[in-house]
Amino acid sequence: AGSLNVPANNTEVEEYALKIDWNISDTHRAAIRYNKLEQNVVRFPQISNSAVSLSSFWYQQPKTYESWMGELFSDWSENFSTEFKLSHKEYTAIREPNSTLPQIQVRGFGGTANNSLYFGTEQNSHVNAVESKELSAFGAATWYMGDHTVKFGFDYSDNDLLNYYGRNLNGVYVFNNLND
């Protein structure tokens, strides 16, 4: 069922960023950006004045966000310029419960009807995963023709998304008192 021994409750965050701007020439420039964030938080649900949960009920909430982008800007003449961008983003958040037990709530714990003890796997954490991957591409050209401006290009985006939410998959049990 677990214990009340609290693990180190440190939110761990690591973040990395890199940006490079390059003036290739007077008419061409490029930029590259990279970003990564990793975070892990320990969650203690159902801890309040009227409830306590054991360590099997707690879970970790790691998250990762990573992205990169490349851009190229070019002035081919006074009348014609182009820009291109390519980017990739990836996000992951998968709860890591401390057990595979069902959620178990015992009401009336400690002699008071409103008090509850929780252990097992928190019902929203039986399976809870979010993953997203996005690839984007953009290109545009601008052509100045006297009093007219002609702009044309493309914009592409592909996003794969997984949102797997398996609430109560392991089961949920509620006991009104220790004698039920």
Chain segment 74-96, per-residue pLDDT in tens: 999 999 999 999 999 999 999 98
Reported as a pLDDT band with limits 50, 70 and 90, residue 180 is low
pLDDT score for 86: 98
Q: What is the pLDDT of residue 14?
A: 92
Q: Give the predicted TM-score (pTM) of the model.
A: 0.78
E strand or H helix that includes residue 9: none
Measured between alpha carbons, how far is 59 from 144 in angstroms, rounded to an integer? 59
Tokens standing for residue 55: 């360590």
Tell me the C-alpha distance between 155 and 76, whole Å: 21
Per residue in 37-46, pLDDT tens? 999 988 888 8
Lowest mean pLDDT among 101-115, 127-141, 154-168: 101-115
Tell me if residue 1 falls in helix, strand or coil.
coil
Angle (nearest 5°) at CA 140 between 136 and 146 = 165
Is the pLDDT at 179 greater than 60, yes or no?
A: no
Given this model, what pLDDT does residue 12 score? 82
133 vs 119: CA distance, rounded Å: 34
